[in-house]
Amino acid sequence: MNAVLTPPTGPVGLVLTGGGARAAYQVGVLREIAHTARLCGITGSSPFQVITGTSAGAINAAALACHADDYAQAVQALFDVWSNFEAEQVYRADSLGLIKAGAPWLVMLSLGWAVARWRRAKPRSLLDNSPLESLLTEMVAFDRLPQLMAAGHVQALAVTGSCYSSGSHVTFYESGTALPVWTRSQRLAVRTRLTVRHLLASSAIPFVFPAQQLDTDEGPQWFGDGSMRQAAPISPAVHLGAERILIVGAGRMHEPEGVRAHAEGYPSVAQIAGHALSNIFLDALAVDVERLQRINSTLALLPPQQREHTALRPIEALVIAPSERLDDLAAVHLDALPITMRTLLRSLGVNHQGKQAASATRGAALASYLLFEKDYTRTLIALGEADTRARRQEVMNFFGWSPPLAAASDDTPSQAAQRTASSPRMAAAASPT
């Protein structure tokens, strides 16, 4: 799947998947790619012409696209946000905010729907993410996008959402030129002017953050996290014209062999919720990557004459995904959360057993999506950098880059130490494909 085209041709696409706070890993990958570009003497515009994202990945995708004229600066801006994150920038973590948003949910869980109905409680989500809207308004300059597209810095940006009203999975995209709109079973595309509201909808983790209302051809409809019912996360980039695609995951593509420690006893609400979120955010990507591999293998067997009569085309793809379990890394940093959030998660069954027993912490998967704290996000950024650095030659082959002879050497020991100071257990990242 990672065969190198000589020379690489066609528009390059970027696919950033969802995962809440786990999306900090993507920033590390993008930052190391920027560093590799500098080593190769590549500066200026983004190397990605088609950028697509889902959930928190949609936020990173939009921030990149809206500053596509200066890739290094765009990545630095993302790094500045993610490396200094506090939960209060995403959701209200103060006592009053949690009481207003989360208490009705706890009432329903503990006392039943009858009491909630009697009190006329109509809770929309576990958490109030109104701070995120303010952050996105400052972080993503959508007003720049049409000019950047007209200047050729980026061809298309797409974010996905799941429609609660119709059950369809919708890709909202903005492009510089008219592109054919596609429709598949329970999947469709809508060309529109993208806004912060689309990002809030795409990142509205079910039950955790409130749904958002967006205008469609059928009128206003309610949307939630785009990772729900996302059968083909790579598809939008292909439809928008990408011929080579870098795919950044938010979880391990393959689990290593061996027996892991497991928490005993009946699974808590947090464990079940974390398992459900992992299914929503992680599983579809692995399946879609395997589908792409099979299509590429099948097309390679066809004679050139027969290839001309099929709408399918080979897609070169490079997949970079975490080499470590992010659940375990989250368990180490649970204490970084505000005490109100730790209390709420404990009520749902997140049972922190200490750093030495991180792999057995109950409910750590759920926490890994909500841990918007710099101790955790910096760890994920460092892991993304290390995983990408370990595959630098593959990255250079993918983009068709080569370093000048004078710059062929890597970081000096002091530079490397500084760049990986916060990195956890720096094992070499094996290719997941």
Mean pLDDT of 153-170: 93
Least Cα distance to 100 among 76, 129, 77, 59 occurs for 129
Handedness of CA 129, 16, 174, 226 (dihedral sign): negative
Q: What percent of the chain has pLDDT over 70?
A: 78
Question: CA of 108: how far to CAs of 101, 119, 140, in Å?
Answer: 12, 11, 36
Asked if 261 and 331 touch (Cβ cutoff 8 Å), the reply is no
pLDDT at 155 (0 to 100): 96
Least Cα distance to 231 among 278, 280, 180, 165 occurs for 280
On average, the pLDDT of the chain sits at 81
pLDDT band for position 254 (cuts 50, 70, 90) = low
Mean pLDDT of 221-229: 89
Mean pLDDT of 221-239: 89
Asked if 26 and 34 touch (Cβ cutoff 8 Å), the reply is no
Handedness of CA 249, 254, 259, 265 (dihedral sign): positive
pLDDT band for position 428 (cuts 50, 70, 90) = very low
* Two tokens, residue 432: 């997941």
Question: CA of 223: how far to CAs of 162, 213, 347, in Å?
Answer: 5, 6, 28
pLDDT at 259 (0 to 100): 47
Asked if 244 and 317 touch (Cβ cutoff 8 Å), the reply is yes
Asked if 259 and 197 touch (Cβ cutoff 8 Å), the reply is no
Residue 426, number of CB atoms within 10 A of its CB? 16
Is it the case that residue 425 has pLDDT exceeding 90?
no
Question: DSSP 3-state assignment of 257?
Answer: coil
pLDDT at 352 (0 to 100): 59
Distance separating alpha carbons of residues 314 and 245, to the nearest angstrom: 11
Is it the case that residue 354 has pLDDT exceeding 80?
no
CA angle, corner 30, sides to 29 and 31, nearest 5? 90
Distance separating alpha carbons of residues 132 and 140, to the nearest angstrom: 12
Is it the case that residue 105 has pLDDT exceeding 60?
no
Asked if 226 and 160 touch (Cβ cutoff 8 Å), the reply is yes
Report helix angle 374-389 to 71-82, nearest 10: 140
| Bridge partner residues of 184 (DSSP) | 187
* Two tokens, residue 433: 């494909």
| Structure-model confidence comparison of residues 51 and 368, the more confident one | 51
Tens digit of pLDDT for each residue in 293-338? Answer: 888 888 888 887 777 777 777 888 999 999 998 988 998 998 888 8
